[in-house]
Amino acid sequence: MVDRVGGVRDRFTRERPPGATAYPGGDGHADHGVGGAHTPKEERAVKLLVTGGAGYVGSVVTRMLLDAGHEVVVLDDLCTGHAEAIAPDATFVRASIHDAAQVLTPQAGFDGVLHFAALIAAGESMVKPELYWRTNTVGSLALIDAVRAARVPRFVFSSTAAVYGNPATVPIAETASPAPTSTYGATKLAVDMALTSEAFAHDLAAVSMRYFNVAGAYLPPQGAGIGERHDPESHLIPIALQVAAGRRDKLQLFGDDYPTADGTCVRDYIHVEDLARAHLLALAAARPGEHRVFNLGNGNGFSNRQVVEVVREVTGHPVPVEMAPRREGDPATLVASAERARTELGWVPAKPGLRDIVGDAWSFYRQLHA
């Protein structure tokens, strides 16, 4: 079932509005406005579908796409997203990705899809695998079918570092052999593989962005910020902030017997703004008939204990910690090599420091609970 809010227009202008950044006009390269190194043959604003645009990353990317002058339709069933996070100048369609074909019609004239809609809790995926396969993999395949039928040329996928499992070496490059240790990682890897096949068979220009740990918040000069608001919350930094703010009694850390310096998991944290900018670059860099894969991380690993200490420093509040057993499917260390994104996309993180990431997350948290 599709619930249209504001309607989905079937005819969109292809003329570039004043102030809009450019988008490649069929030559596979972007101009400097979108982040590439080449000038396109034709400059134009485009019409894009963003699935999961009411979620954390999807809503930030939507805002950046709109600010770049593009038309954006957000498709989200609000199962985990927040309606108030959807940019008011985007068209909103409340629907499941299983029903994407009702929006992605040939007549609608979409130029690309950015696919964020998914379930993301690795621990939950181990006890509810059928839910994750149905949502993340079957739903994505339905979306890819709709993309093919509507002849949409470009597809950017929100993948994950969880596809690598316990890597043999770190930092992890895109050439590392995938070996997911969670159902969540396996469902995302299945979609990555499907996109490789789709690009080869049907000339799709596909890009997978393998995120490491996304955190921080988007804080515009005016208006409300966008940050993490999962329900239930499962990510370390927002939970630690809840403890610092007195909304939780203590923070559970899962496992202190990993083969790391302090026994807790080590992760690579990336600011959500830096991550979102990479998607605009990837959209411009997508090439017909190719499936390109990029890791997105800062290349620096921080243990869970180190993250907690930074939260204490930034907030000025205590964060009591209780150790708990390991969670099934959690790798010991995930640290990115993002050299490919830096070299091929020209992507450079603007906020690589953990204090910046935690500081922005804390600012958003206080704004949210003011």
pLDDT of residue 24: 39
How far apart CA 354 and CA 359 sit, in angstroms, is 8
pLDDT of residue 286: 98
How many Cβ atoms sit within 10 Å of the Cβ of residue 35? 20
pTM greater than 0.75: yes
Do residues 241 and 315 make contact, with C-beta atoms less than 8 angstroms apart? yes
Q: At what angle do helices 304-315 and 354-368 cross, to 10 degrees?
A: 60
Domains of the chain are: 3-221+271-297 (3.40.50.720)
**Please, where are the H alpha helices in the chain?**
56-67, 122-127, 129-132, 139-150, 183-202, 236-244, 272-285, 304-315, 339-340, 354-368
Find, among 136, 113, 161, the residue nearest to 299 by Cα.
161
Do residues 65 and 110 make contact, with C-beta atoms less than 8 angstroms apart? no
Stretches where the chain sits below pLDDT 50 are: 5-43
User: What is the tens place of the pLDDT at every residue in 332-350?
Assistant: 999 999 999 999 999 999 9
pLDDT of residue 222: 83
Tokens 């390109």 locate to 292
How far apart CA 216 and CA 349 sit, in angstroms, is 13
How far apart CA 322 and CA 305 sit, in angstroms, is 11
User: What is the tens place of the pLDDT at every residue in 68-77?
Assistant: 999 999 999 9
pLDDT of residue 206: 99
- Mark whether 56 is an active-site residue: no
Do residues 239 and 248 make contact, with C-beta atoms less than 8 angstroms apart? yes
pLDDT of residue 14: 38
pLDDT of residue 253: 97
Show the tokens assigned to 91. 């068209």
pLDDT of residue 1: 53
Do residues 305 and 142 make contact, with C-beta atoms less than 8 angstroms apart? no
Looking at 23, 132, 184, 258, which residue is catalytic? 184
